[in-house]
Structure 1
Amino acid sequence: MSDPIPPEAAHALVPALRETIREAAALALPFYKAGGQTGARVWSKAGGSPVTEADVAVDTFLKVRLSAMLPRAAWLSEETSDNPVRLDAGLVWIVDPIDGTRAFMSGHPDWSIAVALLSAGQPVLGFVHAPVTDTFYEAIAGAGATRNGQTITVSGQRAVEGARVTGPKPMMDRLARGAGTNGQQAELVYVERVPSLALRVARVAEGSIDVGLVSPHARDWDLAGADLILREAGGTVSDLQGRPTTYNRPDPVHGELVAVSQTLRNDVVAALAPR
């Protein structure tokens, strides 16, 4: 396994990485039609999930550019065949070229490009870019998180009652029941589901959502970049035992997760526990 990247070296990659992601967005945007169906060619992958020519173009572009930027880093992305060499690599790029492909296809603005760099198994750089609104979330391990250059932090919400929650409805219903008292469900503020999982987590980091719920079968590329952004903003992506998410395992698939501030984590986890 190669040596982990020093913090100053990770820092030095940020300007070029930001520009590369902007260039990648410029490849996808011509295929996006606000409020309408994409003009891109669409087909189904094994398992039935859709992919477009924009996903593939962005993935190919990022693989070439990021591999040139850091040649010793391995690669894991949604649109590239997995290579087990990543399991022994000290550095790994984890990329979702278009997170929220169905949103992209249908003209919904909430899709994103998500990029993370793992060093010794932990994310050290995290980027989530929403091209339609030109919103850039960024984080460097130990240096905080930003939205379009401005520091962000999680909300100050201190109770599940009254929290702004988004995610799959069955999980939101479980949370309301589990957080209730005296046989009454907790009152939650339901936020429209954010199709891009990376954006859902980033919005918890910026404080516009208090609790982001994640159904099973999310992949590393949906989460790793946004997870670092949330960590640096004072939150966490945890499983339902409260354990932090881990990345670059042989099977990069996750179970149910919560994206939440450190303050709310224990209460949210407890409310979602099986009864």
Structure 2
Amino acid sequence: MTQTTSSFAALRPVLHDAMREAAALALPSFRNGEHTSARVWSKAGGSPVTEADVAVDTFLKVRLSQIEPRAAWLSEETSDDPVRLGHDLVWIVDPIDGTRAFLSGHPDWSIAVALLSRGEPVIGGVFAPATDHFYEAVAGEGATLNGTPIRVAAQEGLEGARVTGPKPFQDRLLDGAARLGARPAVTVIERVPSLALRLARVAEGRIDLGLVSRDARDWDLAAADLIVREAGGAVCDLKGRPAVYNRPEPRHGELIAVPLTLRGSALAALDA
């Protein structure tokens, strides 16, 4: 293990504790199966935001800046500062990924945090406080769920694959596979509201293929991307290229999260 990797690994327990503290700020206003008790308003463009999003974001900005003060900052709930483009280290944060789930009482929301080094995620955490599922990874050290190592599923073809994501995207996948031979019988998994959590479940092996619509942002993806990679999978565009982070516009096109054994079949179907 290099010294650089060692230094990132040393941040893992500190980041873990910080994310749990952040979750403790949001959980009191989450109501399982009911509307949140937090104040809710709309951002520009109409997306909802709650006071819990802001509280978590504010807390993590302070805490993570203490953990690694050399790192710049990119978060869904903070105005973007282009100074991040000149930094080797950048914190990427989604204080509540799946805000609509949080405010409606659906348990599949998460807090997602990644640290980038030279544009690559080197440590990441995705924590679903309502279910106490904590996914973590450090580059080169594997991925875990609640401290137990996880791996992607060993699915090799689309037949029998467990797929989740937008229905039009699923239809394109299946139509393309049919043009290449036979339309596969897949198991459709209910769409996971938190994108970070959707990808983490691919890493865990509960989902074989996670489909991601265009316009996902760095904060939706970076932490879960590392977790998928470290669990033996990939997050890539429809040409098979890995996601690229900390660009001037932190927005992505269509992506898939998939075990390496299934990537070729999925990409071929989507290109057919």
- For the criterion TM > 0.5, the same-fold answer is yes
- Residue 257 of structure 1 is matched in structure 2 by 255
Distance 1:117 1:182, change over 3 A: closer
TM-score if structure 1 supplies the norm length?
0.96
Contact 2:25 2:55 in 1 (8 A): yes
**Aligned pairs, how many?**
271
Q: Unpaired runs of 5+ in structure 2?
A: none
Map of 1:178 onto structure 2: 176
My pick for the range that moved more, 182-191 or 237-246, is 182-191
| Deviation of the 1:266 alpha carbon | 1.5
Q: CA deviation at 1:181?
A: 5.5
Runs of 5+ consecutive residues of structure 1 not aligned to the other structure: none
The residue aligned with 1:100 is 98
Alpha-carbon shift at residue 180 of structure 1 (Å)? 2.2
Taking the aligned partners of 1:263 and 1:243, their CA distance within structure 2 comes to 16
Q: Name 1:238's counterpart in structure 2.
A: 236
* Matched-pair contact (CA < 8 Å) for 2:155–2:161: yes
Give 2:84's aligned residue: 86
Q: State the alpha-carbon separation in 2 of the partners of residues 158 and 180 from structure 1.
A: 17
Write the letter of the residue equivalent to 1:76.
L
Q: Give 1:41-56 correspondences, 5 Å limit.
A: 41-56=39-54
Compute the displacement of 1:144 (Å).
Answer: 0.3
2:116 alignment partner in structure 1: 118
Is the alpha carbon distance of 1:183 and 1:125 closer, same or farther for their aligned partners in structure 2, counting shifts above 3 Å? closer
Q: Render the CA deviation track for 1:178-226: whole Å, top value 9, x for unaligned.
A: 1126775221110000000000000000101000000111000000000
- Which of 150, 153, 167 lines up with 1:152 in the alignment? 150
CA contact (8 A) 1:161 1:179 kept: no
2 CA distance for matches of 1:183 and 1:170?
A: 20
Give 1:268 deviation, angstroms: 0.6
**1:137 to 2:135 alignment:** yes
SS at match of 1:180: helix
> After TM superposition, what 4+ stretches of structure 1 lie above 6 angstroms from structure 2?
none
Q: What amino acid sits opposite 2:139 in the alignment? A: A
Match of 2:22, SS state, is helix
Q: Which residue number corresponds to residue 72 of structure 2?
A: 74
Query: Pick from 8, 13, 16: which aligns with 1:15?
Result: 13
% identical equivalent positions: 69
Cα deviation 1:74-117 (Å, max 9, x = unaligned): 00000000000100101000000000000001000000000000
| Distance in 1 of aligned mates of 2:229 and 2:48 | 30
Question: In the alignment, which of 57, 65, 77 is matched to residue 59 of structure 1?
Answer: 57
| 2:155 aligned counterpart, secondary structure | coil
Q: From the superposition, tell whether residues 182 and 231 of structure 1 become closer, same or farther in structure 2 (CA, over 3 Å).
A: closer
How do 1:183-202 and structure 2 match up within 5 A? 184-202=182-200
Are the equivalent residues in 2 in contact too, given 1:127–1:137 (CA < 8 A)? Answer: yes
What residue number does 1:166 align with? 164
Measure, in 2, the Cα distance between the counterparts of 1:116 and 1:184: 40
